[in-house]
Each structure stands twice: as C-alpha cells, then as structure tokens.
C-alpha cells in the first residue's frame, strides 16, 4: 500500500468521505514535502507533525507546540 493510500485510509477512518479523504491525503503529502524543504527536516518528521495536528484536531485538542489555553476559567453561575 502506498503512502498516499495509507494517508487516504487514515483520513477515512477519521471520518472524511472517500473523495475528501483522497484530497486531504494529497494535501498532507504535499505539505510535508514543503515543510521538509523549508525547515530542513526529514520529510517523515514533517509528516508526523502534520498527522499529530490532524489527529489532535479531530479529537478537539490543541497540540502543545501551539500553546493552547492552559485551562478553562471557572464558570460563574449564580
């Protein structure tokens, strides 16, 4: 199974319809190459970072490197 097929399958497992999953997979692969060139990192590392953002975003989480809110303020009901 090719990398693109694996990425497409992952996107489908995360809930994307097949056509959208294929588009997302192609964009992920392309962006990983761009990041690798821009930052001088291995392409696999760039793809790993993108996949982390994808999976955490799908779960409603913010990756630590983006510095999301540390905690929510207490609600004020009264």
Domain coverage including residue 33: 3-60
Question: Within a domain: residue 78?
Answer: no
Q: Total domain count for the chain?
A: 1
Question: Within a domain: residue 55?
Answer: yes
Question: Within a domain: residue 20?
Answer: yes
Question: Within a domain: residue 19?
Answer: yes
Question: Within a domain: residue 73?
Answer: no
The Cα 60–Cα 41 span in angstroms is: 27
* 60 DSSP 8-state letter: T
| Predicted TM-score of the model (pTM) | 0.77
Question: Within a domain: residue 18?
Answer: yes
Q: Is 14 exposed, middle or buried (0-12, 13-18, 19+ CB in 10 A)?
A: middle
| pLDDT value of position 70 | 53
Question: Within a domain: residue 13?
Answer: yes
How far is C-alpha 19 from the geometric centre of its chain's CA atoms?
Answer: 18
Is the model's pLDDT at 76 over the cut of 80? no
pLDDT digits (tens, 9 = 90+) for 35-74: 999 999 999 999 999 999 999 988 888 888 777 655 555 5
């Amino acid at each position: 199974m090719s990398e693109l097929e694996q990425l497409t399958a992952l996107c489908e497992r995360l809930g994307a319809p097949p056509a959208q999953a294929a588009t997302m997979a192609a964009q992920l692969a392309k962006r990983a190459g761009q990041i690798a060139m821009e930052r001088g990192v291995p392409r696999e590392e760039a793809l790993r970072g993108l996949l982390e953002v994808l999976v955490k975003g799908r779960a409603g989480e913010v990756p630590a490197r983006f510095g999301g809110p540390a905690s929510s303020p207490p609600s004020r009901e009264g």
